[in-house]
Amino acid sequence: MTEKEKIIEDNEFSIDFITSSAINKINLKFLFIYIPILWFSGLIPIIYWYIFTPKLKSLLASLILLPASIFFMTFLFIIGCVFFSKLFLVLINLIHKPKEGIFKAEKGCKDFEFWCLRTQIKKFAIWLLNNSPLPYVDVLAFRWFGVKIDFSSHLIDAWVDIEFINFGRKVMVGQGAVVMSSMIVGKYLIIRQIYLDDYTVVGGQSTVSPGTIIGKDTVLGALSTTTYKQVLESGWLYFGFPARTLKPNKYAEIKPKTIRKIDVDNAIKYDVDFDINIDDEKKDLINNNNNNEEVK
């Protein structure tokens, strides 16, 4: 391979970590979708104000309730944007179902253009809810748009793609981190499933690439980046660009049916066995899980 061919190949497969950069080339024709979303969402607070205002007989009552009304109408507008965004998204997915794979990031490729359209719709609604002062609203937003996440996990001012992402229990994604199940690499769009297992920690300003699997009790350090389809083994600390094993996670010691206690006066640690309070018919599930972990 000549030096010129090598430069062309490197440029073709160079990684662009900002997925929206490819959308900017064709996003103008997708902006029309915001018009009906904003229009119908704006009608909801207007209808509320039209019905509610005549009931306020005095000027004093109007002034007292005005701040609360403005606050309530703002959230009515946000909820309306989220609802109609989801409605349009369902219709779009019926036309062209999202799927994993590697696609050409260019006009004429349906998978790419529909991915751009889905991204345009979702990012506005998610941005509105993600900046809401109410607790757990961001988790509700991601759950509403398809991310498999429960309320034990936390997204601390982080950005997570909506499609093909599975969270385990008590996962924490740090501030400024980005979890991307889709990424533009040169001239190609890559969409792959991401799995974040139980007790995973993604450090601030980190990037999780498509296809990444992060094992249980694993920590991805701040300012780190995973590679495409990288597997991070359970119980380790990873750090770097790309992420490499740094050291075992000493806080990931899991001992079933054991509680570790600390005797402060004598400065010693000791383990105490205990029985798990669980129904007999469900104990087989725990045994199966333990066996699976031993096999891995």
Residues 205 and 269 in one domain: no
Report pLDDT digits (tens) over 194-239: 999 999 999 999 999 999 999 999 999 999 999 999 999 999 999 9
Residues 166 and 262 in one domain: no
Residues 228 and 263 in one domain: no
Residues 51 and 130 in one domain: yes
Average pLDDT over residues 118-127: 84
Average pLDDT over residues 143-172: 88
Residues 205 and 99 in one domain: yes
Residues 153 and 37 in one domain: yes
The greatest distance separating any two alpha carbons of the chain, rounded to the nearest whole angstrom, comes to 83
CATH value at residue 116: 2.160.10.10
Tell me the percentage of the chain whose pLDDT exceeds 70.
70
Residue 260 belongs to domain spanning? 255-295
Backbone angles phi, psi at 262, to 5 degrees: -125, 125
The secondary structure element, H or E, covering residue 189 is strand 188-191
Q: Of the candidates 164, 179, 178, 24, which has an alpha carbon nearest to the alpha carbon of residue 105?
A: 24
Average pLDDT over residues 252-273: 56
Residues 193 and 225 in one domain: yes
Pairing of strands 154-155, 172-173: parallel
Report pLDDT digits (tens) over 32-81: 788 888 899 999 988 888 877 666 656 666 667 777 788 888 888 988 99
Least confident of 9-13, 118-122, 186-190, 210-214: 9-13
Question: Residue 262's pLDDT is what?
Answer: 58
Residues 235 and 284 in one domain: no
Question: Residue 25's pLDDT is what?
Answer: 44
Is pLDDT above 70 for 26? no
In the chain, the number of structural domains is 2
The secondary structure element, H or E, covering residue 167 is strand 165-167
Q: What is the pTM of this model?
A: 0.71
The rounded distance, in Å, linking the Cα atoms of 276 and 251 is: 21
Residues 137 and 181 in one domain: yes
Residues 266 and 188 in one domain: no
Question: Residue 275's pLDDT is what?
Answer: 53
Residues 15 and 91 in one domain: yes
Residues 235 and 144 in one domain: yes
The rounded distance, in Å, linking the Cα atoms of 224 and 244 is: 9
Report pLDDT digits (tens) over 264-290: 565 565 555 555 454 555 455 544 444
Report pLDDT digits (tens) over 105-117: 888 899 998 998 8
